[in-house]
C-alpha cells in the first residue's frame, strides 16, 4: 500500500508538471498569436423557434498555433484573462465580428444579429465603451445588430457593472446573460442589470431528453425569463427531440450542433445567409 501511495504521488506531480508546462506554453504562444494572425472567428446560427428562421449568429474564437495545434477556447480564454491578453484579443474579436456582420449586410444579405462573447475583464477595462462605439462607427453597423454575451461572474461587481451596462445599452446594443444557471446563486442581478435575454447553459439542454430534472430546469428558466420580460435562447441543441421540446415550451431561440456546428465565415455565408427580399 505504501509503495502504491508513493507512485500515485509521483504520478500526480508529473501530471501537475505537465499541466503547468502546457499552461506556460499557451501563455508564451498567446503573446504573438494576434500578430501572427493565428485567430479566426467561427459563426454558429441562432434560430427563431416561432418560424424556424435564422435571426443571428454567435461568433466563437478559434486558435490555430503552429506549435500547439488547435487550442480550444475553453483552455486558452481563462489564461488570456489571467494574463490580461484578453484585452487585445477581445478587441480583435469585437472588431472582426462587427466588421464581418457589416460586410454581410452591405452585400445585401438579410440582416442578422451578431453575438460577441465578452469577458468581465474587458467590461471593467475603462476604454471598453469607447472601443464598442468606435467599432460601430468604423464599420457602420447599426448597434441593434450587436449582442454582447456576458456571464454571471459580473454579479460580483454589481455597482460598477450596472453603470457600464447602462452605457452600453444606451448605444443601442443588446445584452445577453450567457451560461445562465451555472454560476451565481442569486437572481437579484437579473432585475438590476439592463438585460435583453438569457442563454440557457448547454449542460441543461444537451441531456434534457434523458433527464427529467434538466427538463424541469429548462422549463423553469424559460418561465423566469418570461416573467422578467427577457428573451430566452437555448444552446447545446443537439437533436430534433430537444428542438421540439423547446419550441413547445415557448423558448424563443435555439442554437446547437443539431442545427449547425460553428462554421468559418465563408462556410457560414454559403450555408446560412440568404438575400433580403426586395
Ligand atoms: P459559450 O459562450 O457558452 O459558447 C458555446 C459553446 O458551446 C461553444 O464552444 C460552442 O461551439 C459549443 N456548442 C454549440 N452548440 C453545441 C452543442 O449542440 N453541443 C455541444 N456539446 N456544444 C455546443 P466553443 O466554441 O468551444 O467555446 C467555448 C467557450 O469559450 C465559450 O462558451 C466562451 O465561454 C468561450 N469563448 C469562445 N469564443 C470567445 C470569445 O471570442 N471571447 C471570449 N471572451 N470567450 C470566448
Ligand atoms: Ca456565448
Ligand atoms: Ca454559453
Ligand atoms: Ca459555456
Determine the distance separating the centroid of ligand 1 and the alpha carbon of 55, expressed in angstroms.
18
* E-assigned strand segments in the chain: 39-48, 53-65, 69-71, 113-117, 146-150, 174-180, 197-200, 231-235, 253-255, 263-264
Cα–Cα distance for residue pair 41/256, rounded to 1 Å: 17
Percent of the chain clearing pLDDT 70 (strictly above): 94
pLDDT band at 3 (very low <50, low <70, confident <90, very high): low
Taking the C-alpha atoms of residue 39 and residue 150, their distance in angstroms, rounded to an integer, is: 21
Q: 181 CA distance to ligand 1 centroid (A)?
A: 16
Which residue has a Cα nearest atom 3 of ligand 1? 179
Indicate which atom in ligand 1 lies nearest the CA of residue 151.
34
The pick from 235, 238, 241 for probing ligand 1's pocket by mutation, whose C-beta has the most ligand atoms within 8 angstroms, reads: 235
For residues 179 and 151, the answer to whether their CB atoms sit within 8 Å is: yes
Over 70: is that where the pLDDT of 39 sits?
yes
Question: What does the pLDDT look like over 119-132, one tens digit per residue?
Answer: 999 999 999 999 99
Rounded distance between C-alpha atoms, residue 233 and residue 221, angstroms:
10
Cell triple for residue 23? 499552461
Distance 148 CA to ligand 3 centre (A): 12
Mean pLDDT to the nearest integer, 26-44: 98
Query: What pTM does this model have?
Result: 0.94
For residue 60 and ligand 1, the question of a CB distance below 6 A is answered with yes
- Residue 187 vs residue 35, higher pLDDT: 35
CA dihedral 200, 206, 207, 210 (to 10 degrees): 110
Average pLDDT, the chain: 93
Residue 12: pLDDT band with limits 50, 70, 90: low
pLDDT (tens digit per residue) in 160-195: 889 999 999 999 999 999 999 887 667 788 888 999
CA of 13 to the centre of ligand 3 (A): 33
Q: What is the pLDDT of residues 84-115, one digit of tens each?
A: 999 999 999 999 999 999 999 999 999 999 99
Three-state secondary structure call for residue 96: helix
Q: Which ligand is in closest contact with the Cα of 260?
A: 1
- The finding on whether 61 has its CB within 6 A of some atom of ligand 1 is yes
Question: What is residue 157's predicted lDDT score, i.e. its pLDDT?
Answer: 74
Which atom of ligand 1 is found nearest the CA of 116?
41
* Residue 181 CB less than 6 A away from ligand 1: no
Amino acid at each position: 500500500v505504501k509503495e502504491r501511495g508513493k507512485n500515485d504521488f509521483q504520478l500526480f506531480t508529473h501530471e501537475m508538471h505537465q499541466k503547468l508546462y502546457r499552461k506556460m506554453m499557451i501563455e508564451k504562444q498567446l503573446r504573438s498569436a494576434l500578430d501572427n494572425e493565428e485567430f479566426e472567428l467561427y459563426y454558429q446560427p441562432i434560430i427563431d423557434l416561432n418560424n424556424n428562421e435564422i435571426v443571428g449568429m454567435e461568433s466563437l474564437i478559434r486558435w490555430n498555433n503552429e506549435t500547439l495545434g488547435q487550442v480550444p477556447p475553453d483552455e486558452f480564454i481563462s489564461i488570456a484573462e489571467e494574463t490580461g491578453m484578453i484585452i487585445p484579443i477581445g478587441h480583435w474579436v469585437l472588431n472582426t465580428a462587427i466588421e464581418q456582420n457589416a460586410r454581410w449586410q452591405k452585400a445585401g444579405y438579410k440582416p442578422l444579429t451578431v453575438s460577441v462573447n465578452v469577458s468581465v475583464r474587458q467590461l471593467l477595462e475603462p476604454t471598453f465603451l469607447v472601443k464598442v462605439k468606435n467599432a460601430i462607427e468604423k464599420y457602420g453597423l447599426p448597434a441593434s445588430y450587436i449582442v454582447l454575451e456576458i456571464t454571471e461572474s459580473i454579479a460580483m461587481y454589481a455597482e460598477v457593472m450596472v453603470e457600464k451596462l447602462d452605457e452600453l445599452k444606451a448605444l443601442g446594443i443588446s445584452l445577453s446573460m450567457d451560461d445562465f444557471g451555472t454560476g451565481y446563486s442569486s437572481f437579484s442581478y437579473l432585475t438590476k442589470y439592463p438585460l435583453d435575454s438569457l442563454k440557457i447553459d448547454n449542460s441543461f439542454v444537451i441531456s434534457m431528453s434523458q433527464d427529467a430534472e434538466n427538463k424541469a430546469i429548462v422549463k423553469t428558466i424559460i418561465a423566469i425569463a418570461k416573467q422578467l420580460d427577457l428573451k430566452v435562447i437555448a444552446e447545446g441543441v443537439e437533436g430534433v427531440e430537444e428542438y421540439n421540446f423547446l419550441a413547445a415550451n415557448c423558448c424563443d431561440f435555439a442554437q446547437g450542433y443539431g442545427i449547425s456546428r460553428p462554421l468559418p465565415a465563408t462556410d457560414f455565408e454559403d450555408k446560412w445567409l440568404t438575400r433580403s427580399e426586395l
